[in-house]
């Protein structure tokens, strides 16, 4: 009987998105028209930050059970949408000036309690450029993380509940990231001032509401399945990225369109469904998810899905890129 330790799936092939991008551009050059900015996103961003502050005020004198119910049933959804806003800002999809996008990301980050938007942007761009390379891709679980959790039901519950901490631990293995600059300091200062203001004017329950909403939005909640949906082998071991086309995209700013986003990271959230429609032969042939809730429970109970259910590659995979598969820089910089 084999007792070999589980391993990540290793690939010598380049990450799949650059190759598909080239093919889609060749067959559907009109998708270039989808590339650009959506400055109107700032109104949704500010509106959701304001909504979280209002909710914090509304529950400040409520029973503790109600604080957590509202956090799970309402706050988590708004907080999750704010993560999508931070993601849009990381790709500079709101404004032409990078600094304005960084500031918008910091504002979206305020209800999350933990100042992370600036550093997330840097790690996330590396994830796009070096998908599957452990030294550069912060989306990959670390070896110790995968070994600790593996496919245990209880371990997966703890992992989802504490997902932000596990993700932050990964940064210690990553290279080529500038740790601190004026933007990181600004992110921290404004977050601290926001927390102090919430506690000073609204009290402890308002703060706990925001904290609970944050952890629910990224963890032990059907919304937490988003992190599994994106790159874990749940439907096909050889497919590295999956999209989600279910109804929650309507309250998550189309973040489920993940293959489309990786193929064209300079297309804003509101145009991703159009991209899928134009290039439907490419995306309809890929396996996808229709329910985050179903995936959430499958991840918890299915022993076949573990933190090892990911594809990794080394520099050879990256260097295997041919001239035909190199990305069109215009698609990523416009």
Query: pLDDT of 162-200, one tens digit each?
Result: 999 999 899 888 887 777 889 999 999 999 999 999 999
Cα–Cα distances in Å, from 232 out to 24, 66, 200, 288, 308?
Answer: 24, 34, 42, 12, 8
> At residue 89, does pLDDT exceed 90?
yes
Q: What is the reported pLDDT for 144?
A: 95
Q: Which helix (H) or strand (E) holds 237?
A: none
More confident call, 112 vs 321: 112
> Quick one: average pLDDT of 30-41?
97
Question: Token match 């082998």: residue?
Answer: 233
> At residue 36, does pLDDT exceed 80?
yes
pLDDT digits (tens, 9 = 90+) for 287-317: 999 999 999 999 999 999 999 999 999 865 4
3-state secondary structure 264-311: CCCCCHHHHHHHHHHCHHHHCCCCEECCHHHHHHHHHHCCCCCCCCCE
Q: What is the reported pLDDT for 331?
A: 52
pTM of the entire predicted model: 0.92
Q: Are 89 and 38 in contact (CB under 8 A)?
A: no
Q: What is the reported pLDDT for 72?
A: 97
> Quick one: average pLDDT of 112-126?
94
Confidence of residue 38 (pLDDT cuts 50, 70, 90): very high
Q: Which distant-in-sequence residues (6+ apart) come within 8 Å of 307 by Cβ? A: 141, 145, 146, 149, 150, 159
Q: Both tokens of residue 152?
A: 């245990």
Confidence of residue 321 (pLDDT cuts 50, 70, 90): very low
Q: What is the reported pLDDT for 121?
A: 94
CA–CA separation, 60 and 77 (whole Å): 19
Q: Are 243 and 257 in contact (CB under 8 A)?
A: yes
Q: What is the reported pLDDT for 323?
A: 40
Which backbone phi and psi does 297 adopt, to 5 degrees?
-75, -35
């Amino acid at each position: 009987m084999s007792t070999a330790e589980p391993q990540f799936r290793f690939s010598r092939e380049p990450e799949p998105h650059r190759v598909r991008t080239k093919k889609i551009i060749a067959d559907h050059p009109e998708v270039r028209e989808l590339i650009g900015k959506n400055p109107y996103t700032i109104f949704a961003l500010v509106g959701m930050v304001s909504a979280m502050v209002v909710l914090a005020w509304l529950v400040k004198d409520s029973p503790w059970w109600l604080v957590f119910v509202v956090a799970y049933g309402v706050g988590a959804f708004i907080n999750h949408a704010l993560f999508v806003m931070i993601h849009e800002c990381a790709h500079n999809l709101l404004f032409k000036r990078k600094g304005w996008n960084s500031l918008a990301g910091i504002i979206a980050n305020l209800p999350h309690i933990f100042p992370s938007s600036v550093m997330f942007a840097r790690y996330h761009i590396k994830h796009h450029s070096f998908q599957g390379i452990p030294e550069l891709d912060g989306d990959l679980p670390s070896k110790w993380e995968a070994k600790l959790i593996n496919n245990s039901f209880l371990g997966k519950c703890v992992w989802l509940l504490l997902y932000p901490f596990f993700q932050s631990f990964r940064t210690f293995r990553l290279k080529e990231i500038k740790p601190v600059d004026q933007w990181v300091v600004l992110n921290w200062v404004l977050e601290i001032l926001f927390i102090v203001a919430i506690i000073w004017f609204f009290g402890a329950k308002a703060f706990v509401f925001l904290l609970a909403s944050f952890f629910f939005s990224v963890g032990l909640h059907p919304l937490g399945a988003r992190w599994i949906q994106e790159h874990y082998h749940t439907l096909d071991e050889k497919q590295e990225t999956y999209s989600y086309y279910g109804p929650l995209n309507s309250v998550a700013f189309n973040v489920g369109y993940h293959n489309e986003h990786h193929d064209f990271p300079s297309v804003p959230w509101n145009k991703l469904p159009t991209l899928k429609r134009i290039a439907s032969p490419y995306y309809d042939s890929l396996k996808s998810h229709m329910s985050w809730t179903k995936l959430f429970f499958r991840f918890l109970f299915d022993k076949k899905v573990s933190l090892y259910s990911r594809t990794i590659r080394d520099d050879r995979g990256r260097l295997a890129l041919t001239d035909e598969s190199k990305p069109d820089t215009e698609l990523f910089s416009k």
